[in-house]
Amino acid sequence: MKMLPLQAAMTAALLSVALGISAKPLVVCTEASPEGFDPVVYVTAVTADAAAETMFNRLVDFKPGTTEIRPALAKSWDISEDGLTYTFHLRDDVKFHTTDYFKPTRNLNADDVLWSFQRQLDPKHPWHDKSTTGFPYFESMGFKELLKSVEKTDDHTVVFTLTRPEAPFLADVAMPFTAIHSAEYADKLLAANKTGELNSKPIGTGPFIFTRYQKDAQVRFKANPEYFRGKPPADPLILAIAVDNNVRLQKLKANECQIALYPKPDDLPSIKADPNLKVSELAAMTTAYTAMNTTRKYMSDARVRHAINIAFDKQGYNQSLYGKGNAIDATGPYPPTLLGFNDKLQNPARDLDKARALLKEAGVPEGTEFTLFTRNGGGPTNPNPMLGAQRMQADLAQIGLKVNIKVMEWGEMLKRAKAGEHDMVSAGWAGDNGDPDNFLTPNLSCDAAKNGENYARWCNEEFQGLIDKARAVAEPAERAALYEQALDVFDKDQPWIPMAYPKMFTAMRKNVEGYTQSPLTNNNFATTQVK
Amino acid sequence: MTTPTQVSAVDQSLLYPSPYKEFWQAFSKNKGAVAGLLFMLLIVFCAIFAPWVAPHNPSEQYRDFLLTPPSWLEGGQIQFLLGTDELGRDLLSRLIQGSRLSLLIGLSSVVMSLIPGILLGLFAGFFPRLLGPTIMRLMDIMLALPSLLLAVAIVAILGPGLINTVIAIAIVSLPSYVRLTRAAVMGELNRDYVTAARLAGAGLPRLMFVTVLPNCMAPLIVQATLSFSSAILDAAALGFLGLGVQPPTPEWGTMLASARDYIERAWWVVSLPGLTILLSVLAINLMGDGLRDALDPKLKNAA
Amino acid sequence: MFSFIARRLGLLIPTFFGITLLTFALIRMIPGDPVEVMMGERRVDPEMHAQAMERLGLNKPLYAQYLDYVGKLAQGDLGESLRTRTSVWTEFSALFPATLELSMAALLFAGILGLLAGVIAALKRGSLFDHGVMGISLAGYSMPIFWWGLILIMFFSVSLGWTPVSGRIDLLYDIEPRTGFMLIDTLLADEPDAFWDALHHLILPAIVLGTIPLAVIARMTRSSMLEVLREDYIRTAKAKGLSPARVVFVHGLRNALIPVLTVVGLQVGTLLAGAVLTETIFSWPGIGKWLIEAIGARDYPVVQNGILLIACLVILVNFVVDILYGFANPRIRHQR
Render pLDDT for B36-78 as a digit per residue (tens, 0 to 9). Answer: 999 989 989 988 888 888 888 888 888 888 888 888 888 778 8
B25 in any annotated domain: no
pLDDT of res. B296:
65
Q: Which of residues 169-198 of A touch C (CB under 8 A)?
A: 196
CATH classification of the domain holding B248: 1.10.3720.10
pLDDT of res. A414:
81
pLDDT of res. A15:
45
- Sequence-ordered list of residues with C-beta below 8 angstroms from that of A211, at least 6 positions apart, any chain: A220, A221, A222, A236
**CA distance linking residue C29 with residue C40, whole number of Å:** 19
**DSSP line for C252-306:** IHHHHHHHHHHHHHHHHHHHHHHHHHHHHHHT--SHHHHHHHHHHHT-HHHHHHH
Task: Using a pLDDT cut of 70, give the percent of chain A over it.
Answer: 96
- Sequence-ordered list of residues with C-beta below 8 angstroms from that of C330, at least 6 positions apart, any chain: none
Chain mean position to CA B88: 31
Chain A residues inside the 8 Å CB shell of C55: 129, 132-134
Q: Which of residues 223-252 of A touch C (CB under 8 A)?
A: 236, 238, 240-244, 247, 250-251
Residue C195 has pLDDT above 70, yes or no: yes
CA quadruple C72, C76, C80, C81: dihedral, nearest 10: 100
More confident residue, A130 or A277: A277
Backbone phi, psi, residue A226, to 5°: -105, 15
Asked if A8 has any chain C CB less than 8 Å from its own CB, the reply is yes
Is B101 in contact with B108 (CB distance < 8 Å)? Answer: no
Is A466 in contact with A486 (CB distance < 8 Å)? Answer: yes
pLDDT tens sequence across A184-199: 999 999 999 988 899 9
Distance (Å) of CA A305 to CA A207, A319, C17? 49, 23, 53
Looking from the CA of A257 toward its CB, the CA atoms found within 13 Å total 31
Q: Residue B250's closest chain A neighbor by CA?
A: A390
pLDDT of res. A357:
93
B56 in any annotated domain: yes
Is A97 in contact with A108 (CB distance < 8 Å)? Answer: no
Name which of C117, B173, B89 is nearest A393 in CA terms: B89
- Encode burial over C156-172: b for 16+ CB neighbours within 10 A, e otherwise: bbbeeeebbbbbbbbbb
Q: How many CB pairs under 8 A join B and C?
A: 130
Say whether B149 and C263 touch across the interface (CB within 8 A). no
**CA distance linking residue B239 with residue B260, whole number of Å:** 12
Q: CB-based burial of residue B197 (10 Å sphere; 0-12 exposed, 13-18 middle, 19+ buried)? A: middle
Q: Which amino acid is at C59?
A: N
Q: Which residue among C216, C273, C280 sits closest to B303, beta carbon to beta carbon?
A: C216
CA distance, residue A356 to nearest chain C CA (Å)? 33
Q: How confident is the model at residue B15 (pLDDT cuts 50, 70, 90)?
A: low
pLDDT tens sequence across A430-476: 887 788 888 998 889 998 888 788 999 999 999 999 998 988 887 88
Residue A10 has pLDDT above 50, yes or no: no
pLDDT of res. A233:
93
**CA distance linking residue A498 with residue A486, whole number of Å:** 15
Is B160 in contact with B244 (CB distance < 8 Å)? Answer: yes
Asked if B141 has any chain C CB less than 8 Å from its own CB, the reply is yes
- Encode burial over A254-270: b for 16+ CB neighbours within 10 A, e otherwise: bbbbbbbbbbbbbbbee
Residue A496 has pLDDT above 90, yes or no: yes
Sign of torsion over alpha carbons A355, A356, A361, A365: positive
Q: Which amino acid is at B207?
A: L
- Domain range enclosing B258: 30-284
CA distance, residue C143 to nearest chain A CA (Å)? 22
pLDDT of res. C1:
63
Name which of B133, B139, B102 is nearest B117 in CA terms: B139
Q: Which of residues 213-232 of B touch C (CB under 8 A)?
A: 229
B154 in any annotated domain: yes
Q: Which of residues 267-296 of B touch A (CB under 8 A)?
A: none
Average pLDDT taken over every residue of chain C:
83
Asked if B241 has any chain C CB less than 8 Å from its own CB, the reply is yes
pLDDT of res. C336:
40
Question: CATH 3.40.50.1220: does it fit domain C91-333?
Answer: no
Residue A13 has pLDDT above 80, yes or no: no
pLDDT of res. C236:
81
B229 in any annotated domain: yes
For helices B91-126 and B217-240, what crossing angle results, to 10°? 130
B119 in any annotated domain: yes
For residue C330, how many other CB atoms are within 10 A of its CB? 9
CA distance, residue A81 to nearest chain B CA (Å)? 54
CA distance, residue B141 to nearest chain A CA (Å)? 26
At CA B88, angle to CA B86 and CA B93, rounded to 5?
105
B116 in any annotated domain: yes
pLDDT of res. B11:
58
B103 in any annotated domain: yes
> What is the SS3 assignment for A194?
coil
How many independent structural domains does chain B possess?
Answer: 1
Is A408 in contact with A416 (CB distance < 8 Å)? Answer: yes
B15 in any annotated domain: no
- Sequence-ordered list of residues with C-beta below 8 angstroms from that of C23, at least 6 positions apart, any chain: B145, C303, C304, C307, C308
Least confident of A26-40, B264-278, C4-18, C95-109: C4-18
Least confident of A18-32, A114-128, B122-136, C268-282: A18-32
- Strands A368-375, A401-408: pairing is parallel
> What is the SS3 assignment for A250?
helix
